[in-house]
């Protein structure tokens, strides 16, 4: 596979490979292959800026992106769960590009063994978007370029008090700086998915918190099940402080005075960290 970056050639390559290897794209595995040169160029120019040594691609597919990524980095590891596509990646890409390492496996199981990376790239298998996001908190990397289903990306990008703002938004922004890089129509992929896609850049944040992350996570989860309530009322349902005696509870509410009349859905990540940190002091005193 050597082709210039045009839509026509990307479509030709895709259709030829599918025919030659007798592959019917599987919906269950979100197999929608990129055929949009603009999307590829945007990803590549961003990746190039990172001057990466090692890139991880999640879900290599038929390797169109893999092929170009291999020109930018010293090594590209591409993991793919479908054995038929492994054959394509090996024959069409790895045979021509000796810095491409093809790994057969499920990212959800294999991620701990892959090592660390400068950049992670993925046209995310949409059915495992949130699981992949969680995994990214456990892999060492600097920057990730990810195409999500638009609705999922909207939740990552939402601002406090917007309808999409919720637990996912808070936790994702707790771990990452998130940047919007564009929305793409179904025709950017073959076969076209039923949904629009949004390209996003993630960078790991320095985590600035002096309470256990699990505690923060629990508080956020419990608060956001009541996200339309005022903090004062939502807080009564938080397991870790619910058993406080009345005096202590009032003391806590008093300490959180500037937040208690705010609706949970309006609280920013920074404010939630402050709230959880205050709660943690009381929690430890139980």
**Can you list the positions of beta strands (E) in 87-217?**
100-104, 119-123, 143-149, 176-184, 189-190, 197-204
What Cα–Cα distance (Å) separates residue 8 from each residue in 13, 60, 217?
Answer: 9, 20, 47
52/60 with CB nearer ligand SAH: 60
125 contacts ligand SAH (rule: CB under 6 A): yes
Exposed e or buried b for every residue in 221-254, given b needs 16+ CB within 10 A? ebbbebeebebeebbeebebbeebeeeebeebbe
Q: How far apart are CA 280 and CA 227, in angstroms?
A: 20
| Position among 44, 93, 102, 107 found at the interface with ligand SAH (CB under 6 A) | 107
145 contacts ligand SAH (rule: CB under 6 A): no
129 contacts ligand SAH (rule: CB under 6 A): no
Residue nearest to ligand SAH (CB): 59
64 contacts ligand SAH (rule: CB under 6 A): yes
Q: How far is the CB of 62 from ligand SAH (least distance, A)?
A: 6
92 contacts ligand SAH (rule: CB under 6 A): no
Characterize the bridge pairing of strands 119-123 and 143-149. Answer: parallel
114 contacts ligand SAH (rule: CB under 6 A): no
123 contacts ligand SAH (rule: CB under 6 A): yes
| Position among 36, 80, 118, 143 found at the interface with ligand SAH (CB under 6 A) | 80
Instruction: Give, for 79, the enclosing helix (H) or strand (E).
Output: strand 75-80
CA triple 88-130-140, angle to 5 deg: 75
197 contacts ligand SAH (rule: CB under 6 A): no
59 contacts ligand SAH (rule: CB under 6 A): yes
Q: How far apart are CA 227 and CA 263, in angstroms?
A: 7
36 contacts ligand SAH (rule: CB under 6 A): no
| Position among 32, 70, 149, 173 found at the interface with ligand SAH (CB under 6 A) | 32
Sites of contact with ligand SAH (CB under 6 A): 29-34, 58-61, 64-65, 79-82, 85, 106-108, 123, 125, 128
């Amino acid at each position: 596979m050597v082709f210039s970056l045009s839509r026509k050639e990307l479509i030709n390559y895709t259709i030829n490979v599918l025919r030659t290897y007798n592959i019917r794209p599987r919906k269950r595995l979100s197999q929608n292959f990129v055929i949009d040169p603009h999307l590829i160029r945007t990803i590549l120019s961003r990746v190039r800026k990172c001057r990466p040594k090692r890139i991880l691609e999640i879900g290599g597919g038929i390797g169109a992106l893999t092929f170009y990524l291999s020109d930018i980095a010293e090594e590209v590891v591409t993991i793919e769960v479908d054995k038929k596509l492994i054959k394509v990646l090996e024959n069409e890409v790895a045979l021509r590009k000796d810095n491409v390492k093809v790994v057969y496996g499920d990212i959800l199981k294999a991620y701990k063994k892959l090592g660390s990376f400068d950049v992670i790239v993925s046209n995310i298998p949409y059915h495992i978007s949130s699981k992949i996001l969680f995994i990214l908190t456990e892999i060492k990397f600097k920057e990730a370029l990810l195409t999500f289903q638009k609705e999922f990306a909207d939740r990552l990008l939402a601002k406090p008090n917007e309808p999409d703002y919720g637990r996912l938004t808070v936790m994702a922004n707790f771990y990452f700086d998130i940047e919007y890089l564009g929305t793409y129509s179904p025709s950017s992929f073959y076969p076209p998915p039923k949904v629009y896609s949004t390209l996003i850049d993630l960078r790991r944040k320095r985590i600035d918190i002096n309470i256990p992350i699990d505690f923060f996570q629990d508080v956020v989860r419990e608060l956001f099940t009541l996200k339309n309530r005022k903090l004062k009322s939502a807080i009564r349902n938080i397991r870790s402080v619910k058993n406080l005696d009345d005096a202590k509870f009032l003391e806590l509410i008093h300490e959180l005075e500037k937040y208690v009349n705010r609706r949970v859905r309006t609280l920013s990540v920074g404010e939630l960290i402050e709230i959880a940190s205050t709660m943690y002091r009381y929690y430890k005193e139980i």
